[in-house]
Structure 1
Amino acid sequence: MEIAKAYEPKSAETHYERWEKNGYFAPEINRDPNAPKFSIVIPPPNVTGSLHMGHALQHTIMDVLTRWKRMQGYRTLWLPGTDHAGISVQRKVVEQLRNEEGKTPLDIGREEFVRRAWAWKEKYGNTITEQMRREGVSVDWSRERFTMDPDISKAVRNVFCELYEEGWIYRGLRIVNWCPKDKTVLSDLEVKEEAKKDGKLVYLQYPVITTDRKITVATTRPETMFGDTAVAVNPKDDRYKDLIGKIIALPLTDRKIPIIADEYVDAEFGTGAVKITPAHDPNDYLVGERHNLPRLLVMNEDGTMNAAAGADFEGIDRFEARKKVVERFEELGLLEKIEDYEVSLPICERCKTVIEPILSEQWFVKMEEMRDIALDLMQTEGVPHFSPQIPHEKVYTNWLENLKDWTVSRQLWWGHQIPAWYDGEGNVYVARNEAEAKEKAGGKELRQDQDVLDTWFSAGLWAFSTLGWTGEVDEQPSDDSSELKTKTSTDLEVFLPTDVLVTGRDIIFLWVSRMIMLTKKFTGKKAFEDVVVTGTVLGKDGKPMSKSRNNGVDPLEMFDKFGVDATRIYLASIATGADIKWNDVGVETYRNFANKIWNATRFCLMNSDGARVGNIEPQINTDEHRSLADKWILSRLNATSISVNKALAKYEFHTAVSLLYHFFWDDFCDWYIELKKDEINAGDIAASSFILSILEQALRLLHPFMPYLTEELWQKLPGVSNDLHNAAYRNPVAIAPGSDTDATIMLADFPKGDEAMIDERAELEMGTVIDLIRRVRNIRTEMNIRPSDKVAVHVAAKAAMQTIFVTNEAQILKLARADKLVVSEALEVPKASAKAVITNAEIAVPLEGLIDFDKERERLANQINKLDVELQRLNGQLSNAEFVNKAPAEKVEALRARRSEIEQQKGTLRSNLDALQ
């Protein structure tokens, strides 16, 4: 059968539409009611986003697992969906309003703003799902969900109300993280510590009334002094014992504040006296509670100073106010000094604005009971099991043990509006809808809370709300579809708990922990058993990809340049759990691998008239009529299959890729095809059928990693797509339901491997023959022997080994380009012979008549001299302590590796030169 000379990835990538149309991604494609299930829910990407390399890595891993399990006969559900991304979408719509109409959200009102947010989502929100289709992800699009779907919204309201009724949700006045740009509260997990920066520690003097003394406080945030309601000292600090209880005249204000004693104060820090600002610092807030201090808020939502800071400062940005406070204190002679001080600034993870801790009334979830749910699962069942286990399990447990209450309210309009209503007196009524709230309020006029819930609140329900759970006993699907009602209710029973979650370490606490807690709390089931934690794909410069660094790598560009399959298998090859620096050369390597697979298949199909893919039975391995090469490749195929399955079961994707790469490129292409080439070219039908059968299984092994290429080639194999009724060697569901003509590799059995088909003797014997041929080839290269020249190969070995070489003489002569093989117990060769050693044998190739000895000695000597010069230069660099300490570690390591390589090369060249003396 003829196929195109060159592989064109885009041509193969058209299979996706057929897969989706035929329903291959749905668990119902497997019609066996007793088949085991496998399920994954996708970490829902934001509707504002587009595909980035982190998505591509995680989606590849999830698709590999899903396709592997589907081929193993599981009813597989990989459920897709997107997140409403509260802050991000709100920001997009605000920008659109400002740029197109010059308006603010307040100008159009909440109802119109939410309508426009939905319109924005409908127009732009599907960008990433279309890009995901390009990736080849085998998600069940018929079950696609959105975190603000009506049924999920119903689930969110029911969870909130139940937690409130049980006392697990409360409204309180607490210090929160405030983003002045987005004008909303953030949870601790949404705040990132920016790299340490040079800051200033400012020493301010506060006059003590009725004395001539001043007490000095050190602060990095002078602008908050307007909110000071006390100065605290340690009760054991002798310096200030006589000042405890005295009153301070707070500069720049007309207020007076006390000096108090509290053990919270570190007498060794700064001056040992600390300004207490309960409305602007979480630790000061606690001190204020202990001493019943007032809480004075001195900033607006946008980070400017408010009226409480006085007329001279009202309306000024907090950082400008900081400078002005320092100037005023200096004018008053109350600025003691300013020191350089390294500070870590908390910033909003989205907009990078410096966070302001402020006192605010918000909704919180008590985390004590939630924490105990997660800790109990970890301690009793080891769930979730993290891969890699260390350090994530320890970090997860430590975090749970020190968990704080979760701030769940956000000052936004786009999202799940908090189901709480207030009457005119400020009484709160938490209810599932306004009618229920009014009933609780006795018919009073009510207004609903304007805040929405943290996006992670609805995301925390993702594992079970997406499977049909709404929190109502009599569930009615939102579209009145009985089919949907049946599907979702069954999904909850069948697919929860899910099997594995693939995610990044940055959202283990934001998302993983909360899904664990909420799923167990509301369904009594585990959200998932395993968590695969991926590393970060770094830019080519080794730093995190970002727009500001301009070091991002667009996966879509990689797809266009190298093909989807090459990009996918490269991503799987680096999926070790560690961070990895992106390297185009790595993708290019796998693009070449894809070409190799194509070309190997093309060769196998040449002169294959009459050949067919067939069932490879175990007894073939012991069939005496089979050649050593056949027994060996069959053994290698089964050993590889077993090892790949084990690697995938342990989430060792890089190991699985390495096994498949070396089996296909080294064992199958470089050796087996070369060994069988003459038979294939001669039109040997039996040989062609056998090699096609090995190829077909290899394509199945590769399919989860390279779905498009393997489908394209599998369809071309005789006896596969053209003979649907001869399905003895593959899963009967490889035939699409209701289809008379369509089959797919994605529903064929995944090769399990059979221990009985592993032939250790064949592997040992073939390995010895391969080592011999490889060493002779190396000698030819090292000694500069022309490709057209035939050589004589002398081998010294014991009797048993001699038999192996004699039996395979024809193959050795052909692949080593030799015209003579001499096998004996001891080498008897001219002195001018190149020699080598392999396991249990010695090899020699006489050189007389093959090379010009004088020229070859000169060439080898020159090569050695060049290497000596380079070696001296490297030794000079590596012996320079200053260079080694200051140069990048990877550069030093590369130089050391090069030095080791040169020393090895010199040893080989020296041995070759000695043979010519």
Structure 2
Amino acid sequence: MKKELAKKYDPQNVEQDKYQGWVEKGYFTAKITKDNPSFSIVIPPPNVTGKLHLGHAWDTSLQDLIIRYKKLNGYDTLYLPGMDHAGIATQAKVEERLRTTKNQLRHDLGREKFIDQVWEWKEEYAQIIRDQWAKLGLALDYSKEQFTLNDNLSSAVQKVFIDLYEKGLIYQGKRIISWDPKQKTALSNIEVIYQEQVGKMYYFKYFLANSTTEFLTIATTRPETMFADQCVVVNSTDERYQQYWHQQVINPANGELIPVICDDYVEKDFGTGAMKCTPAHDANDFEIGKRHNLAMPICMNLDGTLNEMAGKYQGQDRFTARTNLVNDLTAQDLVVKIEDHVHQVGFSERSGVVVEPYLSKQWFVKMDYFADKILKFQSSKDKINFFPHRFDKTLQTWMENIQDWCISRQLWWGHQIPAWYHRDDESKVFVGTEPPNETDWYQDEDVLDTWFSSALWPFTTLGWNWNEELFNHYFPTNVLVTGYDIIFFWVSRMMFQSLEFTNNKPFNDVLIHGLIRDEKGQKMSKSLGNGIDPMDVISEYGADTLRYFLVTNSAPGQDLRYSEEKIKAAWNFLNKLWNAARFVEMNRPTDFKPFTNYQNEIKPLIEQHQESIIDCWILSELTLTVKAVKANMEKYEFVLVAKDLYDFIWNKFCSWYIELAKVNLGSDNQEVVNGTQQTLFFVLKQIIIMLHPFVPFITEEIYQTLNLKPSIMLEEYPAFAFTYQTNFLNEVVKITGLIRELRTQYQIPKTQALSLIIKTTGEQEQELATALDSINKFIIRLVNSDISNVVTSFGESKEYIAVPLEHYTVYLKAEGVINNELETSKRTEELARLEKEIARSKSILENANFLAKASPEKIKVEQDKYDDYLKQYANLTAEQE
């Protein structure tokens, strides 16, 4: 039975059950074949910590758009799904669940049973993510789904770690890292969120030894670390402090003597020009400590409380100890002053606590070697292409300022480090998948940074070290779609690991997008409460609407501002398509059979009938649109693609061709009717094929009414060329729209015939004059008007209304057409309205209270209004003269 479209576009009904059908029929399943070129995308794995957010929806909609487009163009496509174990984040979630539901800590369960709990969490949230992927319509090959802790990926992670260790590129050492005192683990840089905070700058007296009057003033924002001070540092060129070189001062926190040393790191003009040095609690101090062979004691426990070095403050939380220490030193007259101080403070993304710079023994990757590898590769002809290209420079800058990467985490959930320590001598370390023997050796309890396994994602998921056929066919992947905020943390790491272990790049292209912001331009975040759940948008407007908005409203590299108005505009566009499809459906006879070779079969019908010029026109415009769309799709310029598609679908097909086609469908000439019916069908088919990568559900629904292949996913992308001389119809469209506006503006009845004159350049004159009869045949029928003449010069006269278009000006004689009394009355009313607005706006801009309190943006808005009112007033008064 022939499927018919519902009277109204209802995205919920349209999108229901389609996805499962696609999956069950294997339309997403990659089939390795040598008949077609391969094209692969490996999904950036979402963390199994919760639901997908709008950023995930944007990222994956772009990927799915590309995959569906390539599939329609004959590629053997693979869109591989997967998820990340997200060590810190997932462990934190499960620990929180245990505390709130069972009043248990992970140590109450032990490592093995706790890990079982995390796996249960993973299975629960993995299914939630899959359900959301389905809602979005992602063409994922679930038969190849991966997880970063799968056995095949885990063995690859171990191999990489061991190989890098044996090459001397992984080492264990003590360095300053970002420490989360709540989770008690090292953090990666991306897990530290810096926020501007109003804190305090404390100025303390460091008295010279054996002096009760002479002291150096030292400023710090972290007094609680003073117990581990090793010296005071000044610049060797600072004459103020030359007399104190190599003398000793008294640490006010604990009374210990520490030396004054010189290091050019200190800036003479910053603060007092003298700084305390605490090598175990600050990254810059650590470097100074290495240069001067300073001791590096730690005064803080792993949970952020102070240790025995803090004396009576031992056991106090770092911030409590700070307050108590400052109060005590104030009472001892050892505080010079305390000032408010605005500075950037790092917070743990996972636990929300202030991160502590902390000296810790960790595992590190030597990054100079890899940075050099990336820089050399990006200067070769095989380089990875960034879209936009400027992000290649961003990558280069980061690689030129690289630091070693801390890869160990003090967690239970993750890839346990394949390093073993001798029970009798922990300085003996063995790196391998198994220890020399189980009796004398125990494994390092730490796990690897999640980014370590994520860095292997493009090649381990595609079979490296476990499926040679899969790997050889689909690697390297064709494009990575990701945000600019993780170029350093993820993109660069994938690059160097792939170059090191596969001797190939991980992807050919990197398509960079920005961040999603709210309607005010603020970054969406939990703390601001301004996030948008993509599933809520889908429930109200449909997945197609959300997808279309996401992929067509931001150019590569740019942020995307969420807009309810634009969401509605996307829905309206799809609704317009739906109604156009219904028109085509209702005007197909029950025995309609589409041409099997349209390009050849349509020619006899449309090339011999004058009325069929509209069919020739829409086919020519379709050809131009397909060409433009293909060119911009290859450059990932989806905003430009959307602009071309919108112009063709909304303006040319829906607004104009369908209107013109109504005349042909009522023709007495059956060949004209047949030609237009076939053209309506053919053009609609091409439209939905081009739109399918953007909006898969509605295009599949419309396609099912065409009675062609089982699914639109089995179709081929448009490839044809119609080149008819039909440019004059574009002029018909412009002139018809102009006349309709004039009739509305001047309240001219449709029954009143209008006569027009066109003034243009000499070159344009010949073209328009030649097409004049053809143009008039349409505008007489459409808007009861005709063009009497085309000229190159025309004397300006108030008897005519002049309206400029892109390449010429249209003149309409006003006499007998325009009601001058009515127009004068309307102009008088408008002038009175503008006078009031000008007075109101001027009053606001002269109001000192408004100017003092309003933001610069608001003042500018009001100034722009005022200027616009003045321009409108000047134009209207000029018309009266």
TM-score of the pair, normalised by structure 1: 0.88
Q: In structure 2, what is the equivalent of residue 792 of structure 1?
A: 754
- Are 1:541 and 1:551, in contact at CA under 8 Å, matched by a contact in 2? no
Cα distance in 2 between the residues matched to 1:628 and 1:899: 49
Cα deviation digits, residues 592-626 of structure 1 (max 9, x gap): 11110010111112231143433442794993546
Q: How does 1:105-184 map to 2 (within 5 A)?
A: 105-184=106-185
| One-letter amino acid matched to 1:587 | I
Cα distance in 2 between the residues matched to 1:489 and 1:803: 66
Q: How does 1:700-711 map to 2 (within 5 A)?
A: 700-711=689-700
The offset of 1:871, in angstroms, is 5.0
Where 1:295 maps in the other structure, the secondary structure is: coil
Cα distance in 1 between the residues matched to 2:354 and 2:477: 38
Q: In structure 2, what is the equivalent of residue 769 of structure 1?
A: 732
Cα deviation digits, residues 863-908 of structure 1 (max 9, x gap): 3432454356557767999978985566567667767876787788
- Are 1:801 and 1:840, in contact at CA under 8 Å, matched by a contact in 2? no
Cα distance in 2 between the residues matched to 1:228 and 1:829: 86
The alignment status of 1:611 with 2:596, answered yes or no, reads no
Q: In structure 1, what is the equivalent of residue 513 of structure 2?
A: 534
Where 2:440 maps in the other structure, the secondary structure is: coil
The alignment status of 1:448 with 2:446, answered yes or no, reads no
Cα distance in 1 between the residues matched to 2:39 and 2:432: 34
- Are 1:384 and 1:530, in contact at CA under 8 Å, matched by a contact in 2? yes
Where 1:570 maps in the other structure, the secondary structure is: helix
Q: In structure 2, what is the equivalent of residue 11 of structure 1?
A: 13
- Are 2:758 and 2:787, in contact at CA under 8 Å, matched by a contact in 1? no
- Are 1:827 and 1:844, in contact at CA under 8 Å, matched by a contact in 2? no
The alignment status of 1:95 with 2:100, answered yes or no, reads no
Where 2:316 maps in the other structure, the secondary structure is: coil
Cα distance in 2 between the residues matched to 1:35 and 1:899: 62
CA 1:552–1:188: 2 relative to 1, 3 Å = closer
Q: How does 1:278-357 map to 2 (within 5 A)?
A: 278-310=279-311, 312-357=312-357
The offset of 1:634, in angstroms, is 1.2
Cα distance in 1 between the residues matched to 2:653 and 2:848: 48
Where 2:110 maps in the other structure, the secondary structure is: helix
The offset of 1:444, in angstroms, is 4.4
Where 2:276 maps in the other structure, the secondary structure is: strand
The offset of 1:178, in angstroms, is 0.5
* 1:578 aligned residue (532, 536, 558): 558
Where 1:374 maps in the other structure, the secondary structure is: helix
Where 2:379 maps in the other structure, the secondary structure is: helix
- Are 1:57 and 1:575, in contact at CA under 8 Å, matched by a contact in 2? no
The alignment status of 1:870 with 2:855, answered yes or no, reads no
Cα distance in 1 between the residues matched to 2:621 and 2:407: 56
The alignment status of 1:22 with 2:42, answered yes or no, reads no
- Are 1:216 and 1:273, in contact at CA under 8 Å, matched by a contact in 2? yes
Q: In structure 1, what is the equivalent of residue 655 of structure 2?
A: 670
Cα deviation digits, residues 124-161 of structure 1 (max 9, x gap): 23212210110011111111111101100000001001
CA 1:49–1:817: 2 relative to 1, 3 Å = farther
Cα distance in 1 between the residues matched to 2:531 and 2:430: 45
Cα deviation digits, residues 707-749 of structure 1 (max 9, x gap): 111111111125x24xxxxxxxxxxxxxxxxxxxxx2112211
The alignment status of 1:411 with 2:392, answered yes or no, reads no
Cα distance in 2 between the residues matched to 1:261 and 1:831: 85
Q: In structure 2, what is the equivalent of residue 239 of structure 1?
A: 240
The alignment status of 1:64 with 2:65, answered yes or no, reads yes
Cα deviation digits, residues 622-673 of structure 1 (max 9, x gap): 9354633222211111111111111111111111111111110001111111
* 1:623 aligned residue (595, 607, 612): 607
The offset of 1:811, in angstroms, is 2.3
Where 1:177 maps in the other structure, the secondary structure is: strand
| One-letter amino acid matched to 2:244 | L
* 2:569 aligned residue (583, 589, 593): 589
- Are 1:229 and 1:278, in contact at CA under 8 Å, matched by a contact in 2? yes
Q: Which moved more, 1:831-840 or 1:282-291?
A: 831-840
- Are 1:223 and 1:321, in contact at CA under 8 Å, matched by a contact in 2? yes
* 1:516 aligned residue (467, 492, 495): 495
Q: In structure 1, what is the equivalent of residue 421 of structure 2?
A: 422
| One-letter amino acid matched to 2:594 | V
CA 1:842–1:346: 2 relative to 1, 3 Å = closer
Where 1:217 maps in the other structure, the secondary structure is: strand
Q: In structure 1, what is the equivalent of residue 642 of structure 2?
A: 657
| One-letter amino acid matched to 1:262 | D
Q: Which moved more, 1:642-651 or 1:872-881?
A: 872-881
Q: Which moved more, 1:161-170 or 1:124-133?
A: 124-133
CA 1:896–1:257: 2 relative to 1, 3 Å = closer
Q: In structure 2, what is the equivalent of residue 729 of structure 1?
A: none
- Are 2:227 and 2:299, in contact at CA under 8 Å, matched by a contact in 1? yes
- Are 1:795 and 1:827, in contact at CA under 8 Å, matched by a contact in 2? no
Percent identity between matched residues is 38
Cα deviation digits, residues 784-840 of structure 1 (max 9, x gap): 224x5342333457575344232243421232145x664576999998664445577
- Are 2:203 and 2:336, in contact at CA under 8 Å, matched by a contact in 1? yes
Cα distance in 2 between the residues matched to 1:464 and 1:371: 20
Q: Which moved more, 1:173-182 or 1:619-628?
A: 619-628
- Are 1:205 and 1:336, in contact at CA under 8 Å, matched by a contact in 2? yes
Q: How does 1:750-899 map to 2 (within 5 A)?
A: 750-752=717-719, 754=721, 757-759=722-724, 761-763=725-727, 765-786=728-749, 788-795=750-757, 801-818=768-785, 822=788, 834-838=801-805, 843-845=810-812, 852-871=819-838, 873=840
Where 1:337 maps in the other structure, the secondary structure is: strand
- Are 1:793 and 1:843, in contact at CA under 8 Å, matched by a contact in 2? no
The offset of 1:266, in angstroms, is 2.5
Equivalenced residue count is 860
CA 1:170–1:782: 2 relative to 1, 3 Å = same
Cα deviation digits, residues 528-552 of structure 1 (max 9, x gap): 1211111111112321112222211
Q: In structure 1, what is the equivalent of residue 208 of structure 2?
A: 208
Cα distance in 2 between the residues matched to 1:715 and 1:123: 35
CA 1:890–1:234: 2 relative to 1, 3 Å = closer
The offset of 1:516, in angstroms, is 0.2
CA 1:887–1:639: 2 relative to 1, 3 Å = farther
CA 1:267–1:900: 2 relative to 1, 3 Å = closer
| One-letter amino acid matched to 2:560 | I
Cα distance in 2 between the residues matched to 1:242 and 1:409: 45
- Are 1:794 and 1:827, in contact at CA under 8 Å, matched by a contact in 2? no
Q: Which runs of 5+ in 1 are unaligned?
A: 476-487, 722-742
| One-letter amino acid matched to 1:635 | S
The alignment status of 1:644 with 2:623, answered yes or no, reads no
| One-letter amino acid matched to 1:395 | T
CA 1:192–1:61: 2 relative to 1, 3 Å = same
| One-letter amino acid matched to 2:189 | D
CA 1:469–1:428: 2 relative to 1, 3 Å = farther
Q: In structure 1, what is the equivalent of residue 677 of structure 2?
A: 688
CA 1:714–1:875: 2 relative to 1, 3 Å = farther
Q: In structure 2, what is the equivalent of residue 735 of structure 1?
A: none
Cα distance in 2 between the residues matched to 1:830 and 1:247: 95
Cα deviation digits, residues 485-534 of structure 1 (max 9, x gap): xxx42221011111111101111111000000001101111101211111
Cα distance in 2 between the residues matched to 1:162 and 1:894: 62
Q: In structure 1, what is the equivalent of residue 705 of structure 2?
A: 716
Where 1:617 maps in the other structure, the secondary structure is: helix
Cα distance in 1 between the residues matched to 2:875 and 2:24: 59
- Are 1:565 and 1:705, in contact at CA under 8 Å, matched by a contact in 2? yes
